[in-house]
Amino acid sequence: MNKSRSFRQLLEQPGMTLRPCGYDALSALLIEKADFKLMGTSGYAISASAIGQPDLGLISFGELLERARNIINSVSIPVDIDADTGYGNALNAYWTVKNYIWIDAAGIRIEDQTWPKRCGHMSGKSIISREEMVQKIRAVVRGREEEGSDLVIGARTDARSLEGFEKTIERGIAYANAGADYVYVECPQSLQEVERLVKEIQIPLAFNLIPGGKTPLFALTDLENLGVKYLSIPMVCVYPAAKAMLNALVALKNGDLAKVGEMGVNWSEFNELIGVKKWRQIEEEFR
């Protein structure tokens, strides 16, 4: 079974699918080793790790595509790609989906912000019209059909903080009707809102939870009971990694190398994670 079909099965089965997000091949490997059945990419975390800058549209489509390629090639589980706005208009979105199909992405999600976009939990966002976003979704669907792909297409709306909740529902319904496989609503503000979104949009509902972000940290069991199908956790790798690296560097600055060693995995454990044993076996075969 290909990765896109595996992703579709996860959305169709009972219960809620968690989407931990990685930002490079190593974080992707760790997500798979933790036995998750699917992972996503986080544009925010990729921007921070690749260029050391916030998610403000500063990193290019080509850089993001190459990072996605490395992530996809490093794991066997499906990878759902954060494709921002599709990097322009409907033509750009059409080209974007084809490129991600060619590198074996299981899914992509585009959003209705203007370009350059910014992280959905930041202030200062603006969005395109509902009609323009509908056309972009249709262009993405066209690109998928032309490639004969099962790629899962997600459509995100950032309208909640800009147009209010009722307009968010209207957009979600329109995006579903345009051919999206799931609708991702940025920053719902209550379980009551989540319940209405699930009921009225009718295709799988997704959103994200970020510690310190603008969405309350709802209990996972509450979300699952309300019928949320897909929950993204975009900072599960990058925030703990940043804290751990900073703590280790502080310990090193203080001259405590033993403490640095205690903070992480050791030589053997890390080599096991990155597959050194496999490569040594291949090396022996070709001596």
Interatomic CA distance for residues 154 and 137, integer angstroms: 9
pLDDT of residue 122: 80
- Side-chain half-sphere exposure of 272, counting CA atoms within 13 A: 6
Interatomic CA distance for residues 287 and 283, integer angstroms: 6
pLDDT of residue 124: 85
Cis before 188 (ω within 30): no
| pLDDT tens over the chain, length 287 residues | 799 999 999 999 999 999 999 999 999 999 999 999 999 999 999 999 999 999 999 999 999 999 999 999 999 999 999 999 999 999 999 999 999 999 999 999 999 999 989 888 888 899 999 999 999 999 999 999 999 999 999 999 999 999 999 999 999 999 999 999 999 999 999 999 999 999 999 999 999 999 888 899 999 999 999 999 999 999 999 999 999 999 999 999 999 999 999 999 999 999 999 999 999 999 999 98
What domains are there in the chain, each with its CATH number?
Answer: 3-237 (3.20.20.60), 243-285 (no CATH)
pLDDT of residue 119: 87
The whole-model pTM stands at 0.94
User: Would you tell me how many other CB atoms lie within 10 Å of the CB of residue 181?
Assistant: 22
